[in-house]
Structure 1
Amino acid sequence: MTIRHALRSQPVLRTERLTLSQLGPDHLDLVMAGLADEDAMRLTGTRTTFTREQVGAHLAALPGADDRADFAITGPDGAYLGEVVLNELEEDDRSMNYRIALAGPSLRGRGFGTEAGRAVVAWGFDVVGLHRVSLEVYAFNPAAQRSYEKIGFVVEGRAREVLRHGDQWIDAVAMSMLDSDPRSA
């Protein structure tokens, strides 16, 4: 199976507490609510304001995409908790970018991101056939960095002063995980 075929055939992933399923048009209202979370926008460095039409068009293009995998995270009660994504496919290098956004501050610090991340990264390596998954996290978000380290991501370096936040410059910490790296339980 090729990388693109595996991405196009995105499965439902299940963990102890979570279900990860294809993000799509049915999630529009939930994604829009997440985009209204000012703290999440700050933590991810997102400055763009997205219209409902833009988000709707993006979500409509996801099912069956062969260059990315966008999973909706739902809890045991079926409540939407956020999204976890593998994107920016570099097919020749078997590499993708990782990102996650939880749908509100009350969900942070409860292990949902780590649990969802472990499942998606394992799927990326074991089924999709990736060699490398990478990310950047802003230095003012050490909780996210700790979560990524629990998944198995390793700090590679630091890009200095990449984000202007208020009157401060913020560094980005580059992290990655290889298919040969140890995985956390």
Structure 2
Amino acid sequence: MTDFAYKPTLTGDLVILRPVDESDYEALAAAMDDPDVTRLTGSHGEIGEEQARTWYRTRKDQTDRLDLAIVDKASGAVVGEAVLNDWDPDNQCCNFRILIGPSGQGRGLGTEATRLTVGYGIEKLGLHRISLGVYAFNPRAQRAYEKAGFVVEGVFRDALLWDGEWVDEIMMSVLASEWIPSEV
């Protein structure tokens, strides 16, 4: 039975994933303000600080999604967030998204956070399918998703207009029947 009301803490070798809250705002705002992160996530526009703080403050109360802060075990710093959202209870599926700021990149933190989150979604929440979209100019993220078991399903052509250029969005998913529990 899927229960997004419970907010777990998941621990790996490199990261701790814990429920996100308002105290994570500064670290996450810094990550989202990075020009490369903004581009790789296709983020247009900004939200105000109070709106963002309210958003993070209310994540623990959501019963249809899971928002986890990614904490680098080596430094104890919040370096990003991992999210299961867009839950479709009739089809036992949801979307996955992740954001890693510059201080958490290039060290396997994103790959481990992805594996932990997907493992929780499939093994504990009983999800059948977890999907995501990754922009074509982000091959590093695509490789991390593939390491976590995601498979390319197709392409949304010209899905993002970035700096006057159209960018494809690569659609990926992992199914419960394909998930290898030892990866968690």
Q: TM-score normalised by the shorter chain: which range applies?
A: over 0.9
| Identity rate, percent | 40
Separation of aligned partners in 1, 2:178 and 2:132: 15
Q: Which amino acid aligns with 2:28?
A: V
Are 1:162 and 2:159 matched, yes or no? yes
Partner of 1:94: 92
Separation of aligned partners in 1, 2:101 and 2:140: 16
Separation of aligned partners in 2, 1:142 and 1:91: 31
Equivalent position to 1:22, from 12, 16, 19? 19
Residue 64 of structure 1 deviates from its aligned partner by 3.1
Separation of aligned partners in 1, 2:91 and 2:136: 27
**Which stretches of structure 1, 4 residues or longer, exceed 3 Å deviation after superposition?**
none
Partner of 1:107: 104
Partner of 2:129: 132
Partner of 1:145: 142
Deviations 1:66-103 (A, max 9, x none): 11101101112311111111011111111110000012
User: Does the 8 A contact of 1:9 with 1:64 survive in 2?
Assistant: no
Are 1:80 and 2:78 matched, yes or no? yes
Residue 181 of structure 1 deviates from its aligned partner by 0.6
Separation of aligned partners in 1, 2:31 and 2:13: 24
Structure 1, gaps ≥5 residues long:
none
Q: TM-score, normalised by structure 2?
A: 0.94
Partner of 1:39: 36
Residue 165 of structure 1 deviates from its aligned partner by 1.5
Q: Which amino acid aligns with 2:90?
A: D
Q: Which amino acid aligns with 1:119?
A: L
Structure 2, gaps ≥5 residues long:
none
Q: Which amino acid aligns with 1:156?
A: E
Are 1:52 and 2:49 matched, yes or no? yes
**Range 36-45 or range 159-168, more displaced:** 159-168
Aligned length: 181
Separation of aligned partners in 1, 2:175 and 2:142: 17
Q: TM-score, normalised by structure 1?
A: 0.94
User: Does the 8 A contact of 1:161 with 1:169 survive in 2?
Assistant: yes
The SS at the match of 1:148 is: helix
Q: Which amino acid aligns with 2:128?
A: H
Separation of aligned partners in 2, 1:36 and 1:160: 27
The SS at the match of 1:21 is: strand
Q: Which amino acid aligns with 1:99?
A: R
- Let me know the Cα RMSD of the aligned residues: 1.2
